[in-house]
Chain A
Amino acid sequence: MEPLKIVITGPVGAGKSTLIRTLSETEVVDTDAIATEAIGKPTTTVALDHGTLRLDGHLLHLFGTPGQERFDFMWEILAEGALGILLMVRADRPETLPVARNILDFIKSRAPVPYVVGVTHLDQPKVWQPEEVALFLGTPLEHTQGLDPRRPEEAVRPLVRLLELIGTNA
């Protein structure tokens, strides 16, 4: 099976590490360290997450990035050779959308490949709907999907969509 490198990116707390933990069929490499800033969770990814998943006859290698801009050198390293990007954002933190846009632009300038947007935390109060997120980011609505990355059947959906896009692109 031909391995496909997918980058999972987005701001802190969007659920990147969670998604990889939910979906990976191999032991996950995670590099979470104790957070010293108030980010709403005790740890944060400082290098990368890695997991693998077989999907539609492809072997996906999922590489999760750190979310903070100070780790932009890891965005650059992980973008190398990527064939698709999953940008994850929190529906209940619309103030992080400019950061998300910035990360997407940064990675797309290094790996101009198809991308999808995954919108998480839709179960929380006062959320932006995926349509609103798409409008804000200026991304096509059909590339934007709501998901709870803690649920396998939902976590896989944006990757299925991404594979379709990569397929038509190839």
Chain B
Amino acid sequence: MSKQEQLQQLLGELKAALPELKEIIVASSDGLPVAQLGESEIATRLAAMAATAHGLGKRIATTTHLGNLVEIVIRGDQAYFIAYAIGDKGILGLTTPAGSNLGLVRLEAQEYARKLAGIL
């Protein structure tokens, strides 16, 4: 299986585990789209923004002595955007509706970020 197919398969598994997820993207650390599941028109933009949010989050974490950055959460009144680092090569970003089981989403997403790190 190609790297792309492996990434796509993992995103499919994540979606199967959490069917409420809307957008799932893998971005490179510098904001290029690597893999996606969801609306393709916003995926490219979301990849760049995920890298920005993550890069800035890391700096906020060090400046305010939070330790290492664990996750980025943007909370809207209708849904969340959540992002995790995939090693130091990329970022896993996803959106999930308000009212989702956030504990479960976080657990699964972190687990898949680890799996993705083995492929990227």
List the interface of chain A (C-beta within 8 A of B).
29-37, 44, 46-48, 66, 68, 70-71, 73-74
Task: Report how far A48 CA is from B53 CA in the complex, Å.
Answer: 11
16 pairs of residues in contact across A and B, judged by CB atoms under 8 Å: A29-B59, A29-B63, A31-B56, A31-B58, A33-B29, A33-B54, A36-B32, A36-B89, A47-B55, A66-B52, A68-B31, A70-B44, A71-B52, A73-B45, A73-B48, A74-B52
Task: Report how far A158 CA is from B28 CA in the complex, Å.
Answer: 34
Whether A44 and B58, one on each chain, are in contact in the complex, defined by CB atoms closer than 8 angstroms, is no
Point out the residue from B30, B44, B53, B58 that lies within 8 Å of A36, measured CB to CB.
B30
CB A69 to nearest CB in B, in angstroms, measures 9
Report the interface size for chain B: residues with CB under 8 A from the other chain: 21
B14 adjacent to chain A (CB < 8 Å): no
Whether B31 and A71, one on each chain, are in contact in the complex, defined by CB atoms closer than 8 angstroms, is yes
Which of B29, B30, B44, B49 lies at the interface centre, i.e. has the most chain A CB atoms within 10 A of its CB?
A: B30
B88 adjacent to chain A (CB < 8 Å): yes
Whether A70 and B63, one on each chain, are in contact in the complex, defined by CB atoms closer than 8 angstroms, is no
B51 adjacent to chain A (CB < 8 Å): yes
Whether B29 and A30, one on each chain, are in contact in the complex, defined by CB atoms closer than 8 angstroms, is no
Q: Which residues of B contact A32 (CB under 8 A)?
A: 55
Whether B59 and A37, one on each chain, are in contact in the complex, defined by CB atoms closer than 8 angstroms, is no
A29-B63, A31-B59, A36-B89 known; A46 and B28 CB under 8 Å? no
Whether A30 and B59, one on each chain, are in contact in the complex, defined by CB atoms closer than 8 angstroms, is yes
Q: Is the interface of B mostly helix, strand, loop or mixed?
A: helix
List the interface of chain B (C-beta within 8 A of A).
28-32, 44-45, 47-49, 51-56, 58-59, 63, 88-89
- Our count of residue pairs bridging A and B at CB distance below 8 angstroms stands at 61
A34-B89, A46-B51 known; A70 and B56 CB under 8 Å? no
Whether B49 and A73, one on each chain, are in contact in the complex, defined by CB atoms closer than 8 angstroms, is yes
Task: Report how far A46 CA is from B55 CA in the complex, Å.
Answer: 6
Task: Report how far A47 CA is from B56 CA in the complex, Å.
Answer: 6
B44's nearest neighbour on chain A, judged by CB, is A70
CB A40 to nearest CB in B, in angstroms, measures 13
Point out the residue from B47, B59, B88 that lies within 8 Å of A34, measured CB to CB.
B88
Point out the residue from B47, B51, B63 that lies within 8 Å of A33, measured CB to CB.
B51
A34-B29, A36-B28, A36-B32 known; A71 and B55 CB under 8 Å? no
CB A93 to nearest CB in B, in angstroms, measures 18
CB B77 to nearest CB in A, in angstroms, measures 21
Whether A37 and B30, one on each chain, are in contact in the complex, defined by CB atoms closer than 8 angstroms, is yes
Q: Which residues of A contact B47 (CB under 8 A)?
A: 70
Whether B30 and A35, one on each chain, are in contact in the complex, defined by CB atoms closer than 8 angstroms, is yes
Q: Which 5 A-B pairs have the closest CB atoms?
A: A31-B55, A46-B55, A47-B56, A33-B29, A70-B48
A73's nearest neighbour on chain B, judged by CB, is B49
